[in-house]
A and B are shown apart, each in its own frame.
Chain A
Amino acid sequence: MGISLFQKSLRDMISGMRSNRNNEEKYIQKTMEDIKKELKSTDMKVKTVALQKLTYLNMLGFDMSWAAFHVVEVMSTPKLLHKVVGYQAAAQSFNESTDVMLLVTNLIKKDLISTNPTERSIGLDCLSNIVTLDLARDLIADVYGLLSSSSAPCRKRSALVLYCCFLKYPDALRPCFKGLVEHLEDNEQSVVCSVVSVLCELVIRHPHNYLEMAPLFYRLLLSSTNNWMTMKLLKIFGALTPLEPRLTKKIAEPLKGIMQQTMAKSLLFECITTVCSGMTANEDIVEMALGHLKDFVLDSDPNLKYLGFKALEQFVRHIPQSVLRFGNAALMCLSTADPTIRSSALRVISGLVSKKDLKEVVVRILDHVPAADTAYRNELSDVVLKICRREKYALVSDFSWYLNVLVELARVPGSTHGKEIAFQITDIACRVEAMREDAVQAVRTLLIDPSVVEMAGEGGSIAEVLEATAWITGEYASCVEHPKETIESLLQPGILKLPCRVQAMYVQAILKVFVHVSNDLLCEDDDDNNDGGGGEEGEEDVEIDKNAVVGELSDLITAHVGQYACSPDPEVVERMSQLKAVLSLRTGDQASDGPTYRRLHSIISQELLPMSGKAQRKVPRPEDLEVVTPIMEEFYDEDVDGTAAEHEVGDGEAADGPEAERAAQFRSADAAQALTEATDEQRRHAQEHAKNQLKEHRQRHGIFYLAGEDKEAEGGAVDGDDGSAGLPEQSANSETGSADGALAGQQGGGMDSAYSKMRKKKSRHRKKSAVVEVRRDEDDGMAADSPVKQARNALDVNPLAPLESGEGLPEVEAYPTHYGAGEGGIPTYDAAPTTAMAAGPEADLIGDAAPREAKRGKEKRRRRKHKSRKHQQEDAGAEAAAE
């Protein structure tokens, strides 16, 4: 009793928490200790208050699973005021793994068969909250019994609780179903309504089992006066009509009637959703629904607007042609401030867009980009990219325009779609020969704009677009119109801020453009291919001029390319040295330079076709090829580390960005030194050797490099993290140390895949932590599938089929007579003789005769009243009794 005097009440505790805001944690810790002591108290009042406090703290996130036994203690008090506290605590803290669950069964059973309506109702409530398979099995007969109680609120509640039991114990559905359905004819509307709610849940999950009941639902729909119930019935028909088109005809008339008469928007909306879920074939009613839908979409209430678009999304999925008229309204909505409505409108738009109006729609979507915030901007970009890429660019007829759209999207500040844009630009340029010139022109604007490079230097995914830009410029150098300008822009100092692999791509592009231009200028016999850089030269003094132009370009490059020497990435340094070596070949004499450049050009001009991502797999692996063992242990590790660090920095993901970069610099600077020790001669030789090998290899296996199916190419580009699938030649000459091109490719591929695996793992990990994962309790450890899900599948039974012999509800056990009065307050089980289910009420009376003597008469009357009900149960009951 001592504690009771000094015990803090719930109110005290909350006030205390509010006044101790600064050291709340300490206060709660102290309170928790008190609660632990108080819970052990013998005074029920103290215990109850402690539990109340604990429940409150649990809501704030503190664990209370350790107190499960005390919860049961409080639950078992006869005092309702205390019991309710226990029940609420149980509802909040119990789950399948709670081991004291066994003790609860009898408590609730006692409530369910109580004559006190309050006890029954809180018992039912508690059961619905904590029901497990065992509880459902033991108590379902009682709940089912309450379905025929004389009190309407009780019937109503027990119908809903039955559903909770079905979820955990699906075997009960069939035996109970008949009795449940009978209550559709209950004279209390609210009971009918809750039975309909339960049926709605059941039908929506497994509609095919309930088709036979359609006439019954139809009758209810006609007679229903309760909007809530009508909505549930409409939901039911929404699930049934897709399976049985004939129903459409039947319910069209009542639906029309409802739509015309009702004032309730919720009911009207339900009618519309019913129409779009399965009645789209009936033009009349679709027209009518769309008429109402228009009011929703144009309504100024954001809720109705949102719902309008949500229904539109459904219509777009089934009959896009008839909702075309909403396209404009959807486009107008893109400027609303509500992200939910905007997303929905965007989905509608992307479903409605056609080849004809693609340009207009995309332009109108892009109109909203400047004013949007970053998230919305990305959403808009995403929609455009997805619409256009759909079915291999089926909607795009003007690729030249689309390339410019892509470039525009790349410039969107804060864009996260760089990878996708880069892929699409490269994809189009690779596949469509006629588009290459346009592609080079389109990316030129990105290339020569120093602000873009600056933007990329600050992070963001535009760097990926620049990588593709550089690749396209280099690869299709023959389409470059202003070589000097291009080379100048490829040498911008800002490029040093870009990720290393982009820098490497830039250096490579310089080499390609230079070689191409030189070849064009210096090789006379190349007249037929004179559309390149030579165009602007004066017609006279051609030879001197040409040589001078090449000289000028060469000087320009030599003057600036040195900036890459301090790059932390060996790849960049490596390519820079190559470039320098090529430049140093120039003697200034056209006669000797011509053939050199022609030879170099013949290597570079080899066209790279889009390659299937699976192509490498089809190349038979040479038997003596060893790809698993690293060639040099320490180098291998170094390289992987370097790449990883670089990727991290490039993507701006690493929290310790600068440190990682510095570390990578140190490591790879050593590696770079080691690699550049080879002379330029050797390197060039190796490169040429590799090129030739690759060429030979291509000739031999030419068939595998044919443009693969779109899907495969896609896979390749997505897989190849640094674009190795699209740009196979880079991987070949990136490993000059080993002359074997094929080996290099394989090795690179191996590392790539290992790396991408690592990345994938990482990203998956990240995703995991970001997403709120809500598992249902799997604590039973029985199966990977959650029990609820299993139960839902198990509910897929035909409840209308006659019961098989032996199928029925478990029997009602009489509950123990001396319950609760035992030592220690632990409720005890009593294996009293079992009685058949139909005899439930009698069993109650036998079990707990004394306190209910007075009510026996009433009970009898009730039973007489429900005698007819019992007759119907006999089918089920007789079987149960037979056991």
Chain B
Amino acid sequence: MIRCFLVINNFGKPRLMKFYERLSNEERQRVIESAYGLVSKRLEDLCNFVEDDSLFGGETQLIYRHFATLYFIVICDKAESELGILDLIQVYVETLDKSFENVCELDIIFNQQKAGLILDQMVTGGLVLETNSQEIVSKYKELERNMKQQERELKSPVASSPRTF
């Protein structure tokens, strides 16, 4: 099971975080900090796995990929295939690339929600839902389309019965 999916930039700023385990705010920040501490000191051509027992109380592995200015980090337990998760990260980045056209850090900063929703099409509750990049893109597009369509549909009746909040 995947415990968390993090995107952190080269300077340790989180750009996207998704925890599949309920943690308090402080605990999450500590995980982000230590995950960044672990990956940032590694050179480029080393392997993409880090073992550290202190993260999530052991029995977990940290798998990451470094693209340009961003670290994509997955912390998961032993039930996940190591190479599978590496591929998953690749798929995620590819999907982002497809949906943003040449994705860069700024895209993720300014489009948090979109990046998060795309991730939701890929992983649900810590389990992998879909690994096909094409499929993920089309699922996300469908979601987006539906949301916009509903927006339009709602607009006309809203005028007749205004909601009071």
A-side interface residues toward B, CB under 8 Å? Answer: 10-11, 14, 42-44, 47, 52, 55-56, 58-61, 63-65, 73, 77-81, 84-85, 88, 91-96, 116-118, 121-122, 124-125, 128-129, 131, 153, 156-157, 160-161, 163-164, 190, 194, 197-198, 200-201, 204, 228, 231, 235, 265-266, 269-270, 302-303, 305-307, 310, 337-341, 343, 770-777, 788, 821, 823-825
Contact = CB atoms under 8 A, between A and B. Distances in A.
A260 to B, nearest CB: 19
Interface in B136-165: 139, 142-143, 146-148, 150-151, 154, 163-165
A774 B57 contact: yes
Contact of B47 (A78, A265, A305, A773): A305
B99 interface: no
Nearest to A98: B22
Task: Label chain A's interface by main secondary structure.
Answer: helix
The contact size tier of chain B is 35 or more
Contacts of A124: 124
A93 B151 CA distance: 26
Contacts of B148: 81
B69 interface: no
Interface in B67-87: 78-79, 81-84, 86-87
A706 to B, nearest CB: 39
Given A79-B150, A777-B22, A88 B46 contact: no
Interface in B94-152: 109-110, 112-113, 116-117, 120, 124-131, 139, 142-143, 146-148, 150-151
B27 A80 contact: no
A305 B48 CA distance: 11
A116 B45 contact: no
B113 A52 contact: yes
Contacts of B54: 770-773
Contact of B130 (A190, A266, A307, A821): A190
Contacts, number: 189
A88 B113 contact: yes
Nearest to A125: B120
A80 B150 contact: yes
Q: Which 3 A-B pairs have the closest CB atoms?
A: A128-B125, A266-B83, A302-B47
Contacts of A65: 25
Contacts of B18: 91
Q: Most chain-B CB neighbours within 10 Å: which of A160, A265, A772?
A: A772
Contacts of A160: 124-125, 127, 129
B34 interface: yes
A192 to B, nearest CB: 13
Contacts of A777: 22-24
B25 A63 contact: yes
Given A84-B147, A85-B113, 20 more contacts: A43-B165, A58-B25, A64-B25, A77-B165, A80-B151, A81-B150, A88-B113, A118-B142, A118-B147, A157-B129, A160-B125, A164-B125, A303-B48, A303-B49, A303-B86, A307-B49, A338-B47, A340-B49, A341-B46, A777-B23
Contacts of A92: 17, 19
B31 A774 contact: yes
A254 B18 CA distance: 37
A777 B20 CA distance: 13
Contacts of B29: 61
Nearest to A273: B81
Contacts of A122: 120, 143
Contacts of A821: 163
Given A44-B165, A777-B23, A118 B143 contact: yes
A201 B25 contact: no
A131 B19 CA distance: 13
Contacts of A88: 113, 116-117
B93 interface: no
Interface centre among A11, A63, A339, A341 (most CB of B within 10 A): A339
A129 B21 CA distance: 8
A231 B57 CA distance: 25
A161 B139 CA distance: 18
A25 B33 CA distance: 19
A450 B130 CA distance: 66
Given A52-B113, A95-B22, A340-B51, A156 B129 contact: yes
Interface in B8-49: 13-14, 16-25, 27, 29-31, 33-34, 42-43, 45-49
The residue in A129, A156, A777, A825 that gathers the most chain B C-beta atoms within 10 A of its C-beta is A129
Given A59-B17, A116-B146, A774-B57, A201 B127 contact: yes
Given A302-B45, A340-B50, A61 B25 contact: yes
Contacts of B48: 302-303
B165 A774 contact: no
Given A95-B22, A128-B124, A266-B87, A337 B46 contact: yes
